[in-house]
Amino acid sequence: MQVAPEPDRSLVLQLGAALLAWYRRSSRDLPWRRTRDPYAIWVSETMLQQTRVETVLPYYARFLRELPDVASLAEALEEQVLALWSGLGYYRRARMLHAAAKTVAGALGGRLPEEPEQLRRLEGIGAYTAGALASIAFGRRAALVDGNVTRVLSRLFALELDAKSAAGLAAVWAVADRLVAVVDGPPGDWNQALMELGATVCVPGEPRCGECPLSTQCEGRALGIAATLPRTSPKRKPRSVRRVALVVASAERVVLARRRRHGLFAGLWEPPAADGDDPEPLAAQLGIDGRALRSGGHVVHVLSHRRLEIDVSIATIGRRRRWGLPGPDYDGVEAVRLDELLSRPHAALARKILAAAGVAPLAKEARPGLPSKPK
């Protein structure tokens, strides 16, 4: 089995000098790189997990505007935190960030710990985020490994282990640990430079080796195998699941249901939906005559393990004021005003379903910080 290489000190110093000089010249100007505030860096690193920089930018600005420090996040209602996260996906991140902020504001006296091992004791902080916070916010010589770092290091050192396997991950972490311990320069910059190289030059598929500051030291390139690295076992195809969704609306309101606090989309609002291909049982639970339903199109939404194929049906609100709970996945149901819609926590999928049915939230609501904590 291939073991992690231990690059010698002079090679690491060369790599460090070349990559850090490139980073200072070419890195993108991003708002979280202009701050040393550990809280802001924590928020950005949490949002950036599994999510593109361009997507995160407006969410980051809005989140910090509404909840500028650990104390305000700790005091916020979960509904407000989820509303600020609506559309960003992986909502568990927001819940964990909120829980950890309460721990920091309470038991830790308002200060984030500085060492990776202490950071990892907080809710939702794994090895990556602990390394990012310790190195970027506190200047600790802590490594981090994400998809970009895995790709760069696998190519640079021609690591041919399956990068998703325990042995492959351990090898990448071992190399990352060795590099950050030796490199001459701020460890936070080094870690960010590795990620930046992976995001902009050593990209998935065909790397742009001609633009790379590490090309003369790159073993993967020298061996002609860079584009085939990192090795991973083939991804399983997401399982296809058929669902139905109901958009019950008038010109001013739309009926939304809130998911229970556990499982997929926990605590988020959406048009009522259920597995299957017959919308009538769902309509009956809500209290609507299934014969009044019209077709509202088809929506496809791909999650990490599932591909949701959703038939959307439409009905008119009429005079009804009370609605039955549309099944065991939900713990609330309400006819929500369209101008209030975006201030409710919701997933991007809810917007897709509403758009398929021709229901658009009104523009004046674009203040997802609401609702605020009651006085």
| Contact status: 317 vs ligand SF4 (CB under 6 A) | no
The CB-of-215 to ligand SF4 minimum distance in angstroms stands at 4
**Active site residue: 45, 66, 196, 270, which one?**
45
- The closest alpha carbon to 128, from 52, 29, 48, belongs to 48
36 conformational bin, left if phi > 0, alpha if psi -120 to 50, beta if neither: alpha
| Interface pick for ligand SF4 out of 134, 156, 245, 268 (rule CB under 6 A) | 156
| Interface pick for ligand SF4 out of 152, 183, 256, 336 (rule CB under 6 A) | 152
Task: Tell how strand 330-337 and strand 273-275 pair up.
Answer: unpaired
Query: Where are any strands of DSSP class E within 322-365?
Result: 330-337
Which residue, 207 or 368, is less far from ligand SF4 as judged by CB? 207
- For the CA atoms of 159, 146, 18, 210, the dihedral, rounded to the nearest 10 degrees, stands at 70
List all residues 6 or more positions away from 307 whose beta carbon is below 8 Å from its beta carbon. 238, 239, 240, 241, 300, 301
Which residue, 89 or 213, is less far from ligand SF4 as judged by CB? 213
Does the active-site annotation cover 45? yes
Which residue, 156 or 159, is less far from ligand SF4 as judged by CB? 156
The CB-of-204 to ligand SF4 minimum distance in angstroms stands at 11
The CB-of-165 to ligand SF4 minimum distance in angstroms stands at 21
The CB-of-153 to ligand SF4 minimum distance in angstroms stands at 9
| Interface pick for ligand SF4 out of 95, 140, 155, 346 (rule CB under 6 A) | 155
Which residue, 226 or 293, is less far from ligand SF4 as judged by CB? 226
Q: Distance between alpha carbon 242 and the CA centroid of its chain, in Å?
A: 25
Place of tokens 């090679």: 11
b/e string for 341-374 if b means 16 or more Cβ within 10 A? Answer: bbbbbbbebbbbbbebbebebeeebeebbeeeee
Residue list 162-221, contact with ligand SF4 (CB under 6 A): 201-202, 207-209, 212, 214-215, 218, 220-221
Which residue, 207 or 326, is less far from ligand SF4 as judged by CB? 207
Region near ligand SF4 per CB under 6 A, out of 120-128, 148-156, 180-188, 332-340: 148-156
The helix (run of H) or strand (run of E) holding residue 59 is: helix 53-66
Q: Would you call 84 helix, strand, or coil by DSSP?
A: helix
Letters for 217-256 (x = contact with ligand SF4 by CB under 6 A, - = none) are -x-xx----x------------------------------
Total number of residues binding ligand SF4 (CB under 6 A)?
15
Which pair of tokens denotes residue 87?
Answer: 């559309």
Q: Distance between alpha carbon 199 and the CA centroid of its chain, in Å?
A: 16
The CB-of-250 to ligand SF4 minimum distance in angstroms stands at 56
The CB-of-50 to ligand SF4 minimum distance in angstroms stands at 22
Which residue, 211 or 331, is less far from ligand SF4 as judged by CB? 211
List all residues 6 or more positions away from 320 whose beta carbon is below 8 Å from its beta carbon. 287, 288
Instruction: Please spell the DSSP secondary structure of 22-57, one letter per residue.
Output: HHHHH----GGGS---HHHHHHHHHHHTTS-HHHHH
The set of catalytic residues is 45
Q: What residues line the site for ligand SF4 (CB under 6 A)?
A: 152, 155-156, 201-202, 207-209, 212, 214-215, 218, 220-221, 226
